[in-house]
Every structure is written in C-alpha cells, then in structure tokens.
Amino acid sequence: MVIIHVVGARPNFMKAAPVVAALSRRRDIIQTLVHTGQHYDTNMSQVFFEELGLPKPDLNLGVGSGSHAVQTAQVMMRLEGVFLAQIPDLVIVYGDVNSTVAAALVCGKLGVHVGHVEAGLRSFDRTMPEEINRLVTDQVANMLFTPSVDGDRNLLREGVAPEKIHLVGNVMIDTLIRLLPVAASRPIDNGLDASPKNYGLITLHRPSNVDNPPVLKSFMEVLTDVSMDLPLLFPVHPRTRARIAEFGLPALSKGRMQLLEPLGYLDFLKLQMDAAVVVTDSGGIQEETTYLGVPCLTVRENTERPVTVEMGTNTLVGQDMHRLRDELGRVLNGEGKRGEIPPLWDGRASERIAEVIAECV
C-alpha cells in the first residue's frame, strides 16, 4: 500500500507526526511525505520537523507565500505530477490549510482516495478561508477522521455517508502527550524572570485581528495594561510583527510584555503548560490548553472547536476589549476557567487511524 502524506504548515506537522509513526509500524505500507512549502521560514517549519521526529520530507514543493488563489493553484499544479508519478493508494491530508484543500481537489480529479485527518470541524463562518477549505475537503474525502462527536454530527448533516466517518480522537493530543515530558524539562529564558503560573502567553496571527490597525492597536493597549499586573510573553508571528511595525505600534509593547521570536514546538509547549492564561486566535492552541487545563481566551467570535468551550478551558471573547480585560481579571483573581479532557483525547488517535486504514483500503 502506497500512502502519501501532504503537509504544508505547522499545525499539519503536529498532526502528521503520530500518524506517520503509527503507519510505519505496519510492514505492508510504503509512505511518502510531501511538504508543499506553504510555511518555509526555519522557525515556522524546519525546527518543527526536527522536534517532532518527522522524517525529512521526501519532496519539498517550495510553494512559498501568495494569495489564497495563487498558493492553492501552485500546490495543485505541483502535486498533480507527484500523484501521477507515484500513483498512491491513499493520500492523507491534515487540518484546514490551503495545501489540504489543494491536495484533496487534485485527488478528486485523478480518482485517488483521500483521508482527511481532523475532519468535520466547523466554525459556521464562511468569511474564514479555513472554513471553505474544511467544507470542500470533507466533500471530496473518502475517509474522514474526526476528533470529536460534533465533527460526526456536522458531516452527517452535510450528507456525508456514515460509513466514511471515523471518530478517532485528536491526533494533535497524541503529539502533545508524547512530547510533554521533553518540553517540561526544557529551560526557558523568557527575559521577564516569570515563574510558572505567574505569566500569560499571547499568540495572534489571523488577518481579522492583525491586519486592521484600530483592532491591533486596541489589543496591544489592553495587553500592555494587563502586563503591569501579569507579565506577558508574546512569540510574534512574522505576519503580526510586520503589522506592528507597519502600523507604528512597537511603543505599545512596553511594560512587562516581552515580544519574542517565533518558537519551536517544544519551547512553546513549555510556555503553555506553565502559563496562568493563554490569549490566542489559533485553533490548535484551544485544544492544547484544554488538555493542559490552562485557561484560554480566544479572540475570535466563533470556533470550529466548540468542544473546547463546552467541555474544556476555552472562552470566546471576540474583539470585545472589555470582555478581554474582565476575563484576564478573573484569571488574576484565581477564577480562570477549568474544564475536562474530551473523550478519545488519550494519545491513541493515530493508532486508531492506522487500524481504520489497514481495514478499509
């Protein structure tokens, strides 16, 4: 059996690593790892392969940045030749990035079977490019691996045949569980001498939050004010750093908020597990904080991971700065949200995926 894994961005790497490992234990499977090059910065890509134990990609398509249309088209054009040359039995795609939908569309045209890891997630907000990617990929895919029961419900409502849907759990948690002891032992020099559970961790990268000058300015003002009471560590995404400079906002990062370079997986996981609170607009971080039991404030109006709100530690605050201040105040008062770990987030999701593939392909 010939299987090709297609990855393109950091979240894909964390999801693919345990699946590649689980399938490698089966002698009748030949695997090829294709990196589209959607994330190409060393801190955003190469270091993740090294830390996650992913094998060096067999192919790197070197697509790089571009508009959604250009990037998706470039991935499709370059993947078509790869699939025609190797004739895979199954292509596995991950998450909701442009590389994911591009690979699914090429497979659909060529009649190649597609497995989608992290299928069925919905924010119900079609202004998000990721939502379009999720919807299209799940309509093309032949095997849909869902991380939680809401994913199953969404797919059934959209007319996906029940026999295609497989509730397996969250593969990102597989990676977290495996590497948690390694991350816990890492020394972190954060520049603030912030002790565990005595600092907040910030990540912002979505266009709706960082490309709008008044919105980004308001976030920076609130975070700077809060940092007077709670030190804040802010590993800055390249897109966000560029906007901070473009909008003339560096002065707002004073106080006890430390702007850091992007971090590798292990260093960031270390900061997450020791944080008093995480403020983010990332989907994966909502899941990781829920498993770690760390209060998470998500600066989005919606989430494709509602289980993190319903069961976990996640609270949606949108772009409401008063709500953000209030929720950060609750954390400072020891009233941060506590939750529980969703079913099947047990570190064995990738094994269940490998079992399904062995039975169905």
* Contact (Cβ atoms closer than 8 angstroms) between residue 342 and residue 307: yes
CA distance 276 to 293: 10
Q: Are residues 162 and 256 in the same domain?
A: no
Q: Are residues 292 and 235 in the same domain?
A: yes
CA distance 226 to 224: 6
Give the other-Cβ count within 10 Å of 26's Cβ: 14
CA distance 31 to 57: 11
Q: What are the per-10-residue average pLDDT scores of the chain (361 residues)? A: 94 94 93 85 66 88 88 96 96 97 98 98 95 98 98 98 98 97 84 77 93 93 92 91 87 76 91 96 96 97 97 97 95 93 98 94 62
Residue reference for tokens 């998000």: 128
Q: Are residues 69 and 103 in the same domain?
A: yes
Q: Active-site residue numbers?
A: 205
Q: Are residues 154 and 210 in the same domain?
A: no
* Domain total in the chain: 2
| pTM above threshold 0.75 | yes
Alpha helices in 53-97 (DSSP H): 68-86
Query: Is 181 among the domain residues?
Result: no
Spatial CA neighbour of 60 closest among 32, 100, 98 = 32
Give the C-alpha distances (Å, rounded to integers) separating 54 from 24, 152, 255, 261: 11, 29, 39, 23
Query: Is 177 among the domain residues?
Result: no
Domain range enclosing 245: 188-332
Strands (E), 119-276: 143-146, 165-167, 200-202, 232-235, 257-260
* Contact (Cβ atoms closer than 8 angstroms) between residue 295 and residue 313: yes
Q: Are residues 322 and 262 in the same domain?
A: yes
Q: What is the pLDDT of residue 47?
A: 73
Q: Are residues 12 and 109 in the same domain?
A: yes
Give the C-alpha distances (Å, rounded to integers) separating 101 from 116, 191, 315: 10, 40, 29
Question: In the structure encoding, which two tokens stand for residue 331, read together?
Answer: 């954390």
Query: Is 340 among the domain residues?
Result: no
Burial 79-116 (b: 16+ CB within 10 A, else e): bbebbeebebebbbbbbbbbbbbbbbbbbbeeebbbbb
Q: Are residues 10 and 82 in the same domain?
A: yes
CATH of the domain at 39: 3.40.50.2000
Query: Is 123 among the domain residues?
Result: yes
Query: Is 182 among the domain residues?
Result: no
Q: Are residues 25 and 55 in the same domain?
A: yes
- CA of residue 257 relative to chain centroid, distance: 24
Query: Is 339 among the domain residues?
Result: no
Q: Are residues 32 and 143 in the same domain?
A: yes
Residue reference for tokens 């971080």: 285
Q: How far apart are the first and last CA of the chain?
A: 8
Strands (E), the chain: 2-7, 30-35, 59-60, 90-94, 114-117, 143-146, 165-167, 200-202, 232-235, 257-260, 277-280, 296-298, 314-316
Q: Are residues 241 and 165 in the same domain?
A: no
The DSSP element (H or E) to which 97 belongs, if any, is none
Helices (H) and strands (E) in the chain, counts: 15, 13
Q: Are residues 28 and 157 in the same domain?
A: yes
DSSP structure string for 104-139: HHHHHHHT--EEEETTT---S-TTSHHHHHHHHHHH
CA distance 156 to 151: 9
Q: Are residues 137 and 211 in the same domain?
A: no
Query: Is 291 among the domain residues?
Result: yes
Q: What is the pLDDT of residue 299?
A: 97
Query: Is 353 among the domain residues?
Result: yes
